[in-house]
């Protein structure tokens, strides 16, 4: 349950939804930098993918296989 609460908070912060965190009130670039900072979270499990790809679907599948499975 605790991990689910943390994941839900991450979702709310990324969307800018008020959730009791001052981070959620920041602009989108600032929220992104906070969520992806290696030292600011307990959930950081890999380096940030820059998001540049010719095939988003294929890249998502590849990253999921590499980083999750």
Q: What is the pLDDT of residues 12-65, one digit of tens each?
A: 888 988 877 888 888 988 888 887 766 655 555 566 666 678 998 998 899 889
pLDDT at site 10: 82
- Residue 58 main-chain phi, psi, to 5 deg: -65, -40
The total of other beta-carbon atoms located within 10 Å of residue 13's CB is: 21
Biggest alpha carbon distance in the chain? 38
Q: HSE-up of 39 (CA within 13 Å, CB side)?
A: 0
Contact assessment for residue 64 and residue 56, using Cβ atoms and an 8 Å cutoff: no
pLDDT at site 61: 92
Q: Which two tokens stand for residue 21?
A: 């965190």
Residue ranges of the domains in the chain? 2-67
């Amino acid at each position: 349950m605790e991990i689910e609460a943390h994941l839900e908070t991450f979702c709310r912060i990324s969307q800018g939804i008020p959730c009791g965190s001052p981070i959620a009130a920041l602009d989108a670039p600032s929220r992104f930098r906070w969520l992806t900072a290696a030292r600011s979270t307990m959930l950081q499990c890999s380096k940030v993918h820059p998001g540049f790809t010719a095939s988003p679907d294929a890249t998502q599948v590849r990253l999921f296989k590499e980083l999750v499975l």
